[in-house]
Amino acid sequence: MKISYLKDNIHLTIYSYWSWWFEASNKQDEISRAILTVSIVVFMFLWYKWSFSSSKTSDQLPLPPGPRGLPILGYLPFLQPDLHKHYTQLAHRYGPIFKIWLGTKLYVIVSSSELAKTVVRDQDQVFANRDPPIAALAITYGGINIVWSNNGPYWRKMRKVLVHEVLSNANLDACRGYRRDEVSKSIKDLYTKIGTKVNINEIAFFTELNVITSMLWGSTYVEGEKTGNLGAEYRVMVFKIIELLGAPNVSDFFPILARFDLQGVDRVMKREWAKIDLILDQIIEERIRSNASRSKEMADKERSKDFLQTLLDLKEQNDAAKSFNFTQMKALLMCILGLNLLSAYQDIAIGGTDTTATMVEWVMAEILDHPEVMKKVQDELSQVVGMDNTLEESHLPKLHYLDAVIKETFRLHPTLPLLTPRCPNQSCTVGGYTVPKGAIVFLNVWAIHRDPEKWENSSEFFPERFLNYNEDNTMWFFPFGSGRRMCPGIPLAEKMLVYMLASLLHAFKWSVPLDEELDLFEKFGIVMKKRKPLILVPSLRYHHDY
What is the rounded CA–CA span in Å between residue 251 and residue 504? 44
User: Quick check: 153 and 445 in contact, CB under 8 A?
Assistant: no
Residue 449 and residue 233: Cα distance in Å, rounded? 35
Distance CA 294, CA 316 (A): 17
Q: How far apart are CA 116 and CA 537, in angstroms?
A: 41
DSSP state of 394: G
Q: Which residues contact 383 (CB under 8 A, 6 or more apart)?
A: none
DSSP at 219: S
Backbone dihedral angles phi then psi of residue 130, each to the nearest 5 degrees: -125, 165
Instruction: Report the C-alpha gap between 366 and 519 in whole angstroms.
Output: 9
Angle of CA points 266, 268, 273, to nearest 5°: 90
Residue 113 to residues 100, 247, 410: CA-CA distances in angstroms?
Answer: 20, 28, 16
State whether residue 309 is helix, strand or coil.
Answer: helix
| Cβ 362 vs Cβ 368: under 8 Å | no
Quote the CA–CA distance of 486 and 491 in Å, as a whole number.
12
> Burial code of 522-540, b = ≥16 C-beta within 10 A, e = fewer?
bebbbbbbbeeebbbbbee
Distance CA 336, CA 145 (A): 10
Cα separation, 132 vs 255, whole angstroms: 11
| DSSP reduced 3-state for 102 | strand
User: Is 487 known as a binding-site position?
Assistant: yes
Whether the Cβ atoms of residue 532 and residue 188 lie closer than 8 Å to each other: no
Gyration radius from the chain CA atoms: 24
Cα separation of 171 and 176, whole Å?
9
The span from the CA of 442 to the CA of 140, in Å, is 21
CA 527 – CA 410 distance, rounded (Å): 12
Quick one: which of 111, 70, 436 has its CA closest to 253? 70
Q: What is the Cα–Cα distance from 210 to 308, expressed in whole angstroms?
A: 15
In whole angstroms, give the CA distance from residue 385 to residue 377.
12
Helix (H) or strand (E) holding 536: strand 535-540
Beta strands in 104-245 (DSSP E): 105-110, 198-199
Binding-site residue numbers for heme are 487
Binding site per annotation, positions:
487
